[in-house]
Structure formats: C-alpha cells, structure tokens
Structure 1
Amino acid sequence: MPKAAKKKTKPRQQFGVAPYRSLPEGGLEVLLVTSRDTGRWIIPKGWPMKKGSPLKAALREGFEEAGVRGEGGAEIGAFEYVKVMEFGRDRPCRVGVFALKVTEELEDWPEREERVRRWFSPAEAAEAVNEDGLKEILETLPARLENG
C-alpha cells in the first residue's frame, strides 16, 4: 500500500516592518531587533489584527518589539520562514513587509526587556538575518523605497 502523501500546510500570514532612517550624509540605515527565543536578528513582525489593516498590524509590531513609530508606507515585499512554535508543530509563515520611516525612537517600549535593537546598513542587515527572502528585501531596500 502506498504511503499517504504528507499534507502541505498553507503558510500563516504575518505582517512586519522594515524600520529605516535617512542619514545626513546620504543613504539609510535599517533597524533590526533580536528574537526573544534565539536572539537572532529579525524585523518586527506578528499576526494580523481582528480589527485593523495589515499596515496597522505591522506598525503595532514596530512599536511593541522595537519601540519605533513613524510613517508607514506600502508593502515592499514578502518572505517565508518557519516559525518554531512552543509545543512543536512548527508553522510555515508568509510575512508581508511594510516600510516604516522612523520619526520617533522611544526609550521605553513594551518588549524593551526582551529584545535588543540595532541600526545596520542595508547590506549589514541582509547579512545579519537568516531568511533568504528577507535578506533580499533588506539588501534592496533603498531601491524598493524609490520605486514604491
């Protein structure tokens, strides 16, 4: 008897932000935060809100995880990754990424004690993250902002 094909799990949707700031001498920097579990570099991201747009959910994550506020723009890309869940059953996720022009960097924010935040050049940010799709978004962020 043939073995049953393993059912492919549809990715769960998440939304995140690529917080950035312009530098006086030109160019820009991207803000990354550490994940709570492994301490690896990520962008602020999370689940959709029951009431609210994808952009609103992404901006909320920027505030909660990185302590930044600003002007949100259009979705500039998406990437997929596998979210390691607490009790097994890891889930594939698709993250829609929105640009966030940072206008305010708070000293105190909800997840301040759980995360580290740091500014990177787009190339350094791309090197720091693990997900290939996110690497591409961060590396090409200046061009995506110009074309968006």
Structure 2
Amino acid sequence: MKQLPISVNSARKTDVRTQFAALCWRVMDGKVQILLITSRGSGRWIVPKGWPMDGQTPGEAALTEAWEEAGVLGKVDWRPVGLYSYSKSVNDENDLPFVAMVYPVRVKSLAKNFPEALERKRRWVGRKKAARLVDEPELAQIIRDFDPKILS
C-alpha cells in the first residue's frame, strides 16, 4: 500500500488540528539514538512536527519538518509508528486539541545550516532518556517502544 498526497486547500490549517511528526533516529555503537530538538517558545524537548502540506504525503511532510526544524537529511518510512495527542495555543486561542502522527526518519546526516538553525537546539539521546525528556506521555511511549527492526 502506498500513501497518497493530501490536499489542504479546502480548510485552514488551524481547522485541521493534525500534525505530522518525525521520529529521527540513528544507530551508534549498536544502540538506537533519537534526535530531539527544542521548541521555539518554551525551549522544551520535542520531535520535529508540523502541519499537513499540500501535495505531500504525511511522511513527506514529516521529513520536510525534520529538515526545516533540525537539519535532518534522511529517509522517511511511510508507515507511522504511532500517534500522540497534546494541546497547544494557536492564534490566541487557548489549548486547542491536536493529534500528531509519528513517522520514523532514519538520519543519514545533519546539516549545519538549515531554516530554523538559529531558533532551536538539537540533541542525540538514547530512547529511555528521550522518553524522559519529552512532556507528552504518548510520545514518550512511542519513543520507548520504537525498534528500527520493525521497519525492515
């Protein structure tokens, strides 16, 4: 089965309340590491994520966000590894509900210069530590459970 690009022209992005996230990973010394980035507002540790993009599949949108927010050059798997919910303020509205579909991205390299390089920090950590650092319990569980062997 193959993903199809979506169309977001019929709705405002704030009405969709769905985002696509990238679980950026690599294997170093036989151990899986997860790339976390800081959010622009509070500076807390998160994974790259963003809005659906017209003409892109959800996986492609996750990969685009990984590039823009973390400078990731890599390969996305079109099969999501989970979804998590959270709330967020958008356009002066308080605590809107969101859901983020999480797509694994195998990182080949990290660029030094990328669109949000001056706005974010990046950090490679093991799965257990990454799960402790993120605020969202469902995302933490996805990170703890992630095993790249299932992608083969």
Q: In structure 1, what is the Cα distance between the partners aligned to 2:45 and 2:16?
A: 21
Q: How does 1:12-51 map to 2 (within 5 A)?
A: 12-23=17-28, 25-51=29-55
Structure 1 length-normalised TM = 0.87
Question: 1:62 maps to what in 2?
Answer: 66
**Unmatched tracts of structure 1, length 5 or more:** 1-9
Q: How does 1:87-102 map to 2 (within 5 A)?
A: 87-102=92-107
Structure 2 length-normalised TM = 0.85
Of all paired residues, the percent bearing the same amino acid is 38
Helix, strand or coil: the match of 1:90? strand
User: Structure 1 counterpart of 2:92, which letter?
Assistant: F
Question: 1:141 maps to what in 2?
Answer: 146
Query: Is 2:88–2:94's contact at 8 Å kept on the other side of the alignment?
Result: no
Question: What do the CA deviations read for 1:63-118 (whole angstroms, capped 9, x no partner)?
Answer: 00000011111211110000122413331111000000000210000000110110
Q: In structure 1, what is the Cα distance between the partners aligned to 2:109 and 2:17?
A: 30
Q: In structure 2, what is the Cα distance between the partners aligned to 1:101 and 1:50?
A: 23
Query: 1:11 Cα shift?
Result: 7.3
- The 1:132/1:11 distance shift into structure 2, 3 A limit, reads farther
**Unmatched tracts of structure 2, length 5 or more:** 1-14
Question: 1:78 maps to what in 2?
Answer: 83
Query: Is 1:76–1:98's contact at 8 Å kept on the other side of the alignment?
Result: yes
State the structure with more CA Rg: 1
Helix, strand or coil: the match of 2:61? helix
Q: In structure 2, what is the Cα distance between the partners aligned to 1:78 and 1:146?
A: 19
Q: In structure 1, what is the Cα distance between the partners aligned to 2:53 and 2:91?
A: 21
User: What number of residue pairs does the alignment pair up?
Assistant: 136
Q: In structure 2, what is the Cα distance between the partners aligned to 1:140 and 1:82?
A: 23
